[in-house]
Structure 1
């Protein structure tokens, strides 16, 4: 009897020590990844989201919550992010805590569920070009179709997505008459089925989605990803390239390798490093750039300028290849080249005589008579002298004067050998004669 009571107590002790903690931990075995989608949508953001999705899938997460606050960005980057979301096997929830504008709205529409804070908005998704103007008809048509597809991907009414991208749609009840893009507030988005609910906080979102007991893992950008996002920003790219171009121009007249050259080198390193991390550039672009730089250096020692031209084209090509959007990168390169040319003109105008390396590339000095340079001695003492032709002049030939043989040309007519001529003009090494007709002129 005592043994049975003892065994019962041991069993209860085992359950209390081991079983209850197991039950306790089992209540929070699911994990949710919280991923910020902030600032401009570009390829650097895509690289960060791609890593976050891979980590969540490898960890067996129950869901990913994208906390969205973005004014939009590049459509090609948004396309890649949307594809990433669409192909993921995880539950993807978009939490718009402020704004999901343009490409941000496009990304949100690919989420399985959308929740918004009370002050959040989404919409205004008209595609614009690099100059800030409405894109051409073809690009605009493609983007409107993409917005409709995004809405239809999760069975949302497509006419509202179309109105976000097409100002000709008429939805006056949502402040979107003809000529205006649709932007939905939180209550409006819920009414039209573009939001699953309005929540006042992230904790409230977890309760609404049944994830209140999940372990929340917040992902953050690594230092490399932050650098990549910064240097792939549409405003930063032309600035970096302009600093690089102008820095190398300034370095042309600076002895040694100074501050301008260092700034240019750092700008290029940041440019290629950021685009490598973002997955836009490969090592082939760096190899092409180094080949181009080598050819430009070789141009200092080689004639004809062919190496310099090929090297310049190789560098421009490598920069364009490093970007995800060739047209945008070409515009950025043109801006950088224009700034470099302006800088070159200013330097040559105001500091031309002080140029250092540039003097080896561009001939800066003139050798004129006023500066004391002559290509040949002008023998003005020969003017008016009479001599005899040593050879026929056809019209060039030779004359003999005081035992000296001199190369001359006639004024155009043929003069035979042994004929008396008078020297009428001396221009450096060119001596002009004509046949002497007057008596007494012959020696």
Structure 2
């Protein structure tokens, strides 16, 4: 019996040893990651791609498929993402599911292989400024060089990459004459070997690339990464900072704490949170910002203004440091300051007397006649009274009335000392007299 049990266990062990190697073939053990790159390319996209690539590496993935559908974006963000491609050991396969224009074409050229859907396009990669105009010669030249380098790094003919960014390359066969940027269709891209094939679906792409039986892991942006992509967009940044500055200004000049203050703080939170998630800002920038806020608050209790100036500089410095691009962030801060200053001027002009803190900081009362203020006592009770000159009036001089010496002026004529005069006009401190007639009558 024991011998039978022993033989049975031995047989099961041998069978299991034979079955296990075949229970998972190489194809079944394969795993690929599908990573979407949609909409504009901005700095916040880097954090999502970095996380996706890291997850793929830790999972032992065989390849990364980039699902590209983008009109382009910002060149500095694309450059940083391209560096991520270069340090990744896994094969990167770009799948242009619709279009890969501008910075999108640049990223596609950094992939190991490119596949396109039949209606796909890639190209049109000229650098455009935020104003909508072509970039300056320096930025344009650098971008053309980057496009050429991207094509060369993947073994592609750099002429077509250059034509995508340089409008003066003449390629009439592909509708790129003088002044036109090259945009390749799927068929044209395959013809010039900028595409390794044309496929209709992602499933077909897996079959063509040898991963038909591979496990596909699709990554998606987290809520935090989506916020980071939105708030780090160069168009959104100055809007956020403007809302923050204007909200804080309104809150300072209104009693209590209300909607403007909440909007300002929310805008600042979104700004720093987004840049922190995107990897553009560090905790040192937040610490510097908190120190700046503390110094500004201390300014209300300390004389001299030094704490407020240092605090304001610390706040501005932390914002510029958080953005990654000092020049652009400096421009954004100036825009926010201009909007806050304009808002402050409007507040002081139209709502100044109704606001709480403003009344403590700025003298709002006017010393005008409507408010009951006069520069001198207007002695209207002197009108019609007769006095005697104590000095000649040439035309100014002095008179005496009931023992009081009063400075006066004549109506223009000379009046000698000791003459009787009548007070005919009182205008504040200006008292006008004229000499009475010989009978001393008052006219």
Q: Same fold (TM over 0.5)?
A: yes
2:307 matched to which residue of 1?
Answer: 307
Structure 1 residue 65 corresponds to structure 2 residue 35 = no
In the alignment, the residues of structure 2 paired with residue 89 and residue 385 of structure 1 have an alpha-carbon distance, to the nearest angstrom, of 111
CA distance in 1, matches of 2:375, 2:263: 44
- Unaligned 5+ runs, structure 2: 382-386, 391-427, 430-443
Q: Distance in 1 between matches of 2:231 and 2:265?
A: 14
Partner of 2:188: 188
SS of the residue corresponding to residue 203 of structure 1 reads helix
Match status 1:174 vs 2:170: no
Deviation at 1:168, TM superposition (A): 1.1
| Structure 1 runs not aligned, ≥5 long | 388-427, 431-443
Q: How many residues align?
A: 398
**Preserved CA contact (<8 Å) 2:244 2:263:** yes
| Root-mean-square deviation (Å) | 3.3
1:117-161 Cα shifts (integer Å, max 9, x gaps): 111111111112222221111111011000000000011000100
Aligned-partner SS, 2:24 = helix
CA contact (8 A) 1:42 1:73 kept: yes
| Alignment correspondent of 1:243 | 243
Residues 21/375 of structure 1: CA separation in 2 closer, same or farther (3 Å cut): farther
Whether the aligned pair in 2 keeps the contact of 1:82 and 1:107 (CA below 8 Å) is yes
Q: In the alignment, which residue of structure 1 is the partner of 2:100?
A: 100
Q: How does 1:91-130 map to 2 (within 5 A)?
A: 91-130=91-130
Change (3 A) 1:309 1:68: same
2:231 pairs with 1:231: yes
Task: Indicate yes or no: 2:233 matched with 1:256.
Answer: no
- How many angstroms apart in 2 are the aligned matches of 1:202 and 1:16? 39
Whether the aligned pair in 2 keeps the contact of 1:292 and 1:311 (CA below 8 Å) is: yes
SS in 2 for 1:301: coil
- Which residue of structure 2 lines up, in the alignment, with residue 20 of structure 1? 19
Aligned-partner Cα distance in 1 for 2:372–2:339: 38
Partner of 1:423: none
Distance 1:117 1:149 in 2: 25
Aligned pair in 2 of structure 1 residues 187, 11: CA closer, same or farther (>3 Å)?
farther
Larger displacement relative to structure 2 (235-244 or 355-364): 355-364
Relative to structure 1, is the Cα distance of residues 368 and 305 closer, same or farther in structure 2, using a 3 angstrom cutoff?
farther
Distance in 2, matches of 1:379 and 1:204, equals: 103
> Which whole-Å CA distance do the structure 2 matches of 1:353 and 1:79 have between them?
53
Q: What pairs with 1:43-442 in structure 2 (closer than 5 Å)? A: 43-368=43-368, 371-373=371-373
TM-score by length of 2: 0.80
SS where residue 204 of structure 2 aligns?
A: helix
How far, CA to CA, are the matches of 2:181 and 2:223 in structure 1?
A: 37
Matching residue of 1:437: none
Partner Cα distance (2:363, 2:175) in 1: 65
1:237 partner SS: helix
Deviation (angstroms), 1:16: 6.2
Deviations 1:342-386 (A, max 9, x none): 3222222221211111222333223346534578989999xx999
Partners of 1:32 and 1:375 lie apart in 2 by 87
Q: Counterpart in 1 of 2:34?
A: 34
The answer to whether the 8 Å contact 1:244/1:267 transfers is: yes
